[in-house]
Amino acid sequence: MHIQHFDSEKSLAAAASQIILQAIQKKSDLLLCAATGNTPTATYQALVAQKSLFPAGQLRIFKLDEWGGVPMDHPGTCEAYLQEHLLQPLNIPVDRYFSFHSNPADPQQECARVQERLQQEGPIDLCVLGLGVNGHLAFNEPGAFLQPHCHIAQLTQDSLGHSMAKDMQGAKLYGLTLGMSDILAAREILLLISGPSKVEVTKQLLEAKISSQLPASFLWLHSNVKVLIQ
């Protein structure tokens, strides 16, 4: 695990966007697995600002996870986030974007569909992750065990308190997410950490003690992880 510390969100975003840019320049049809939330926003904005430096139309994007139980056009979905910050600014063709539907008739079948698509398109070349305040990665929540592949996740109160879910009150929310094996199969992983709410969980992560109670700790098992901390 290669760890770098930054003194500002801007400097972290600049470094992270360069890592993504360089990966795309090496492989124009890169399969980028994209996290959502507050932390990666500045990184995506910095990447979009450099879109003239790579053939965006060849890039493939895979959605990491999604809030289940709400319409796809809800402004708090991961879908809405990715459309705003990556897909539309980069003009990603529909056939090069792969995602969970946020309100499927059959969530289990939806997970199976996404898993099959990942097997067809994968492995992931570069997986961009954020760190949950409870140590989750995507919607792989702390627990007695972790699931390897796409699955329905029962969300913890920490996850339900995320700002993306603030306008989803009344919905029976659940998570749709890639599993830990899917994430760890990525050729390269970029973990972005910022904000005062992440200080304690970051300390736990850097102890390098692997536990299903801290899903992010499994990144210590991967041979090509870059961690950028602000």
Active site residues: 65, 134, 136, 141
Helices first, then strands: H and E counts in the chain:
8, 10
Could you give the strand order of the β-sheet that contains 65-68, starting from the edge strand earlier in sequence?
65-68, 174-177, 151-153
In whole angstroms, give the CA distance from residue 108 to residue 1.
Answer: 34
Residue 35 to residue 130: CA distance in whole angstroms: 7
The C-alpha R_g of the chain, in whole angstroms, comes to 16
Q: Inter-axis angle of helices 41-48 and 9-26, to 10 degrees? A: 50
- The SS3 assignment for 2 reads strand
Start-end of H helices in the chain: 9-26, 41-48, 78-82, 88-90, 107-121, 157-160, 180-184, 199-206
- Structure token pair of residue 136: 């989750």
